[in-house]
Amino acid sequence: MKAYIIKKYTKDGLQLADVPMPKAGDNDVLVEVHSASLNLLDSKIKKGEFKLLLPYKFPLILGHDVAGIVTQVGKKVSKFKVGDEVYSRVQDFRIGTFAEYIAINESDVALKPKNLTMEESASIPLVALTAWQALVENANLKKGQKVFIQAGSGGVGTIAIQLAKYFGATVATTASTKSFELLKSLGADVVIDYKTQDFETMLKDYDVVLNSQDNKTLEKSISILKPGGKVISISGPPTPEFANEIGLPWYLKIVLSLLSLGIRKKAKKQHVDFFFLFMRANGSQLDKITQLIEADVIKPVIDKIYTFEQTPDALKYVESGRAKGKVVIKVK
């Protein structure tokens, strides 16, 4: 089959190659890829930014999000059958959706929302699961709470705003002025121009912050929280708890502990909780997200759709930081 690979960590583009078809294990479904979406995570992995946490083997096919059709099921698979239209954010060490086929553990798969196209479905899993794990699983967001979601026009931001509004929260976000209309249509109550305004002087007594920016922004975010509030960061720095969770060796636990020490101290001083989230694949959570999509609570926001042949260009566009919502490739 055709797939886009990297042979080593690199800042260069992806290479199109002929690779063997994946084999479906007993608990796997083999999916014919109809569409895949791109995430900044793909770029970071390509450049080796996560090589200590996720030591991949080469050649490596990138891609975390997929929508497609089940063409084969393993003998222990019970939830899916050949012909099912599905979507998934695949497990970290089983990535490879920039390809014509992929084998996925059935526990990471959900039936595709009936009201979405393959392209729209592929745009959803990673960003929606990130928003769900941050706001629902971790922050336990409740009606009447106030949440600050940074970079509202990004992939995670566009879904997180809709999810937070569904749970009855007041939502503040940052963006450039050209995105204001979009973000208000998604439900944002307070939209701040990050180029000319300082959110830390405009927001106070917030319950939750979803941080996706740099450490400087993270530090400012702590100051807008009320005592007992929570800042959940998807952009780092990783914590010792995270190191334990993924079973890193002791010396890496020390490194992560030192990396996050300043932020953890600052959070403790302000009586707020700091949590680093590295989202994970989860088919049952995706089922719940599907229900919200089919009830028109969450709508995908897609910036551009590229052909499979344009995958390297699509990744460059994601890396440019200009995308509003998601960037998708149409494989079939």
pLDDT tens-digit map of 262-287: 999 999 999 999 999 999 999 999 99
Element (H, E) at 162: helix 155-166
For residue 181, give Cα distances in angstroms to 172, 176, 255, 324, 329.
Answer: 14, 10, 42, 12, 26
Give the separation between CA 220 and CA 281, rounded to whole angstroms. 30
β-strands 170-175, 146-149: how paired? Answer: parallel
Report the pLDDT value the prediction gives residue 202, as an integer from 0 to 100. 97
Give the separation between CA 192 and CA 194, rounded to whole angstroms. 6
pLDDT > 90: percent of the chain = 98
In sequence order, the β-bridge partners of residue 61 are 5
- What does the pLDDT average to over 230-237? 96
Whether the pLDDT of residue 120 is over 90: the answer is yes
How many CB atoms are located within 10 Å of the residue 166 CB? 16
- What does the pLDDT average to over 46-74? 96
Report the pLDDT value the prediction gives residue 139, as an integer from 0 to 100. 98
Query: Exposure pattern of 122-160 as b/e (b: 16+ CB <10 Å)?
Result: bbbbbbbbbbbbbbbebbebeeebbbbbbbbbbbbbbbb
Q: Using alpha carbons only, how large is the chain's radius of gyration in Å?
A: 20
- What does the pLDDT average to over 299-322? 97
Tell me which amino acid residue 321 is: G
Query: What is the chain's mean pLDDT, rounded?
Result: 97
Residue recorded with tokens 């994601």:
318
Report pLDDT digits (tens) over 183-220: 999 999 999 999 999 999 999 999 999 999 999 999 99
Give the separation between CA 220 and CA 200, rounded to whole angstroms. 6
Burial class (CB in 10 A: 0-12, 13-18, 19+), 295: exposed
Report the pLDDT value the prediction gives residue 222, as an integer from 0 to 100. 97
Helix (H, G, I), strand (E, B) or coil at 173: strand
Give the separation between CA 173 and CA 102, rounded to whole angstroms. 36
Whether the pLDDT of residue 30 is over 90: the answer is yes
- What does the pLDDT average to over 31-45? 97
pTM: 0.98
Give the separation between CA 60 and CA 42, rounded to whole angstroms. 11
Report the pLDDT value the prediction gives residue 52, as an integer from 0 to 100. 87
Angle subtended by helix axes 250-259 and 261-269, to nearest 10: 50
Report the pLDDT value the prediction gives residue 35, as an integer from 0 to 100. 99
